[in-house]
Structure 1
């Protein structure tokens, strides 16, 4: 629960499943109103109906594939015309593929950057000016521990999440004195549909199953920090500790963790 969200408007991309869906329910529990964006319109309709009936808040939804920037512009222009203010944007849409760079195709590279980076930036672009004008707002970008600690078979995914972190950190500095908060969320592996695409062999999930985060727990932590000036949210703690050691002693860490890194 987050009392700051009472009667506030929260936009969530990638809201049809996983932590996007779970965050929507957590926002509604706190009395916040919602705009849900994702490719699966029928699924969004089900979630919106359940939220409105259960929590008595408004929950709008729009079909959107953030890969297509023209559609992003059209959707957000409609949202901006329909709503006087936007309090929180959660850039949650994203996907990954766990395979070596040698095996990955240029089409896969393009798609991953279009969704994870360009789509995230475009959504931010269309709400930022409104937040600056209203002198309040919070942009939350779902990045990853992969943006801090790269591993084999995730070169493209790690590159996109490094980009998300770089963008987030720069934007935070740009708007630091203008009452808009910018937060990066860096989780480890989460039990969601993400791995249906990322890990088609099931090998990675099998190797890390006992350490995977619950989507409900991640969503609760993210919603709890909405409309607070939180720089980063990192979990689990042991993985964040590993990423800190990695940045301080990369050569040593890579030698010691080499075997673990290849468990994809």
Structure 2
């Protein structure tokens, strides 16, 4: 799809991170934007910056996307304002930290409401119009956690696997309609996500795991799997723009991530062995963190 001033794009989670970066890249291409996020002040800042960078028009639409009726009503407002919807980017995401036995039911539900139910409701709202247009793209921002498991993340991993499965099923339903469903699988990205996870900030655990896993790999004489390095939101957003212009079923955004996912799919046991130092380091870090939290409480 060629991006121009007639292209209408809805982005959820547009107030920060990948969503913000993508909105600004698309603004430079002159697109018309419907930006959705909970934080009205930060969303308005992004909308103002997008207009300065060349967007043909921008709607800043504060909304909690877990409210299905409000979310679908907002999508309807974009359709009325712009007359069409070309792209929906299901970007809003919500993380979690906690082993299965430590995860409260309400945390599990909140993770699924944002990462699964909201993307379903958004797609259901835009599909009738896109099918009538005979064109459109629904892009879901999942995660490498949607194809490879990580400890202390079971709720998030399950939700992101669901997001991948949803997109694949939707793609099969859309065959021959002119509408595309695509999934993006970022690895570590330098956004607010790592400090805003349900159950506590996960960044300190990642940092401990990265350092300690090297020592454990040496102790056990294991050739540790090479994990994808961190990228900026801008790095990821630039690749999503390219995906819009050159559609593909799946986008792996980080170096080495596609190879790691392929190895896990073809030889799960062997890849688990290479991931073992990271998983053991994660457990150490998680138990230390949990103990510290209990002492503070």
| Structure-1 residue corresponding to 2:115 | 116
Alignment CA distance shift 1:257-1:181 (3 Å): same
List per-residue Cα deviations over 1:174-213 (Å, max 9, x = no partner): 1120101111000101000000123615323425599211
**Relative contact order (C-alpha < 8 Å, sep 6+): which is higher?**
1
CA shift, 1:243, in A, is 1.4
CA shift, 1:255, in A, is 2.2
CA contact (8 A) 1:100 1:153 kept: yes
CA contact (8 A) 2:63 2:70 kept: yes
| Structure-2 residue corresponding to 1:244 | 262
Larger radius of gyration: 2
CA shift, 1:262, in A, is 4.2
Distance 1:221 1:56 in 2: 19
Q: 2:247 aligns with which of 223, 229, 234?
A: 229
| Structure-2 residue corresponding to 1:200 | 201
Alignment CA distance shift 1:37-1:201 (3 Å): closer
CA contact (8 A) 1:88 1:227 kept: no
CA shift, 1:237, in A, is 3.0
SS of 1:236 mapped into structure 2: coil
Pairwise mapping of residues 1-264 of structure 1 onto structure 2 (< 5 A)?
A: 4-7=2-5, 8-198=7-197, 200=201, 202-206=203-207, 207-208=209-210, 211-264=229-282
Distance 1:72 1:44 in 2: 16
SS of 1:188 mapped into structure 2: coil
Distance 2:180 2:96 in 1: 30
Runs of at least 5 residues in structure 1 that lack an aligned partner in the other structure? none
Aligned residues: 262
CA contact (8 A) 2:31 2:55 kept: no
CA contact (8 A) 1:145 1:240 kept: no
CA shift, 1:225, in A, is 1.5
CA shift, 1:31, in A, is 1.6
CA contact (8 A) 2:11 2:19 kept: yes
Alignment CA distance shift 1:60-1:159 (3 Å): same
List per-residue Cα deviations over 1:22-44 (Å, max 9, x = no partner): 00000011121111000011111
Distance 2:272 2:25 in 1: 38
SS of 1:153 mapped into structure 2: coil
SS of 2:98 mapped into structure 1: coil
Compute the TM-score of the two structures, normalised by the length of structure 2.
0.84
CA shift, 1:122, in A, is 0.3
Compute the RMSD of aligned alpha carbons: 1.8
Distance 1:202 1:145 in 2: 16
SS of 2:112 mapped into structure 1: helix
CA contact (8 A) 1:87 1:136 kept: yes
Runs of at least 5 residues in structure 2 that lack an aligned partner in the other structure? 212-227, 283-297
Compute the TM-score of the two structures, normalised by the length of structure 1.
0.94
Alignment CA distance shift 1:109-1:143 (3 Å): same
